[in-house]
Amino acid sequence: MNRNDRLIYFAIFIVVLAQLVICNYLFLGPLVTLTLLPVAVLFIPLKHKSAAAMLLAFLMGLLVDWLSDGVLGLNAAALVPVAFARDFLIRLFVGEDTVVRMDPVTVNKPGWFRMIAMISVAILLFLLVYVPLDSAGERSLGFNAARIGISYAVSLLAGIALANVFSNLNKREQL
């Protein structure tokens, strides 16, 4: 494992800790679910294939669920589809050659527009699984739609900032 991979894994660990703090101490209301984990899943080094990324995403989600006051398995269930779609999203928005060469994902190649689009899809995928599972049929479709929309907007802003951090860490390897 090279130095850059260790930095990325350390940054993912910090994101998991930040998500724990958000889950345990930052209540933004019933309509807002702030999540950082889908962006962290996107930046798992590409040398890990989908199965390993899904396992790591599951463990990240399970750790957050276990150490926070949420339902055990909720974040884990919502993160696994994001990890499953990770390679496809990177191929679609960053480029096939990045996946084939296992290059680090940075904003330099695709630009911010495509990076934001990739983050958007990952966050939406997460929320489309998370919110219905969290409501367990107790909330109306309108409430769930509003929760997904508001949570998406808040999580996207945080995700863009987080993607900038991960992108800068990955750029260090390319210098």
At 146, which CATH number?
1.10.1760
Q: Determine what percent of the chain is predicted with pLDDT higher than 70.
A: 97
Q: Does 173 score more than 70 pLDDT? A: no
Q: Of 121, 99, 100, 124, whose CA–CA distance to 44 is shortest?
A: 99
Q: What share of residues in the chain are helix, strand, coil (percent, to 5)?
A: 75, 0, 25
pTM: 0.92
> According to the model, what pLDDT value does residue 30 have?
86
Q: How many domains does the chain have?
A: 1
Specify the DSSP class assigned to residue 105. Answer: P
Domain assignment of residue 132, given as a range? 3-174
* Average pLDDT value over all residues in the chain: 91
- 61 and 72 in contact (C-beta within 8 Å)? no
Buried b or exposed e, range 48-87, using 16+ CB within 10 angstroms: beeeebbebbbebbbbbbeebebeeebbbbbbbbbbbbbb
Q: Of 29, 14, 53, 12, whose CA–CA distance to 147 is shortest?
A: 29
Q: How confident is the model at residue 20 (pLDDT cuts 50, 70, 90)?
A: very high
> pLDDT digits over 83-118, tens only?
999 999 999 999 888 888 888 888 888 889 999 999
